[in-house]
Amino acid sequence: MKRLKWGMIGGGEGSQIGPAHRLGAQADGNFVLAAGALDADAQKGRAYAMELGVAGDRAYGNWQEMLEGERNREDRVDLVTVATPNSTHFEITKAFLEAGFNVLCEKPMTMSVEEGEEIVRVARASGKICAVNYCYSAYPMVREMRQMVASGQIGRVRLIVTNFSHGHHGDATDADNPRVRWRYDPAMAGVSGQFADCGIHALHMASFVAGDQVRSLSADFASTIPSRELEDDAMVNFRMEGGTVGRLWSSSVAIGRQHGFDIQVFGETGGMRWASEQPNQVYYTPVGGRTQIMEKGEPGLSNEAARLSRVAIAHPEGFPLAVANIYVDLAAALRGATRDALPMAEDGLRSMAAVYAAVDSAAQEGAWVDARPPMLRA
């Protein structure tokens, strides 16, 4: 199987996201880093790309150079990952899609609904892949839950309860820490703080597992640390197209919660729950029966779950390999397989619509608002 050529924008030396993507892309031998514009500092970016094995003529100083350089090559990269600051995702992703590249964009895909719609339009016109890195959806046992719903194992989904809450911004004396402060400053973070940062992972997860989309929502936002302009705690009630009731809590001041992302899905004939800190198990309960502990790697799981697991039952697999699974699916898609479960530009757009809807609802004391992007309303 020939390795695919991969290019990266952002993720330079010292970033946290760079190594995560490189591990993800390279872990299974699917991609080889062939080009990069890794740093805002052109010099440093070029040097680091070469250190990572990129040829000198493909170690670019910025994304515009990379776009020019790659579009004219016969052996242009098969995939570009956009891992730059949030406000630049739109521009870069759009430019590469228009030039005929496949793109994996970090979340949030854009800063507005309009930009999101534009990306969807461009992606559709280009015929290229525009994926968004909702990597939690690529955990084997999350895929299993999605299959269980799709196959009717728990019946119609009545209710989804999902949380993404941590306490890492709970220290008010740390409020000037630049790694924290920007997240609650509209000038840098946009219209939403915690909900846009973490909540949309949970909202995507709900849609992903249910195989349905959010239609409307009602939000309650709070800045529990008063100096913050944007919310550090959010509760969002929602309804899906098919009638499923949703509850989503997201907080960054939940001191003691670490990576508190979990989901509970309750249907007519069963319930299940999954938590990101123990991602290799699903607790499944048939109605009237006992809770069963499902294990990654156990016999009888779906192909989706089996395909994305690397080691035998109960050997834990963690977050970096969930990212890797996004690349596994991208490689498969680039090689012609279907890509049903890959989070795509439409998902990125829906997230942005939900963020704006939640902000709008919260400003109206929880009024119910349409959560769908205009272009994706029926």
Region 30-89 residues binding its own copies, contact defined as CB under 8 A: 51-53
Asked if residue 21 binds its own copies (CB under 8 A), the reply is no
Instruction: Kindly tell me which residue out of 125, 172, 337, 363 binds its own copies, with binding defined by CB under 8 A.
Output: 172
Nearest distance in Å: CB 238, its own copies:
9
Residues 176-235 that bind its own copies (CB under 8 A): 218, 220, 222, 224-225, 233, 235
How far is CA 279 from each of CA 75, 151, 198, 226, 313, rounded to the nearest angstrom? 38, 21, 17, 34, 13
- Return the number of other C-beta atoms located less than 10 Å from residue 123's C-beta: 24
| Chain residues 349-378 in contact with its own copies, contact rule CB under 8 A | 365-368
| Site size toward its own copies, by CB under 8 A | 86
User: Out of 10, 116, 140, 270, which residue is the one contacting its own copies (CB under 8 A)?
Assistant: 270
Nearer to its own copies, 123 or 357 (CB): 357
The contact pattern for its own copies, residues 238-257, with x = CB under 8 A and - = no contact, is -------x-x-x-x-xxxxx
CA 277 to chain centre: 17
**Which string of b and e fits 213-251 if b means at least 16 CB within 10 Å?**
bbbbbbbbbebebeebebbbbbbbbbbbeeebebebbbb
Q: Are strands 157-165 and 245-251 parallel, antiparallel or unpaired?
A: parallel
Nearest residue to 22 (alpha-carbon basis) of 45, 43, 49 = 49
3-state DSSP assignment of residue 230? coil
Greatest Cα pair distance in the chain = 64
Over the window 316 to 335, marking each residue x when it contacts its own copies by CB under 8 A and - when it does not, the resulting string is xxxxxx--------------
Q: Is 279 in the site for its own copies (CB under 8 A)?
A: yes
- Interface positions, 89-108, toward its own copies (CB under 8 A): none
CA distance 178 to 282: 37
Q: Which is nearer to its own copies, 84 or 165 (CB)?
A: 165
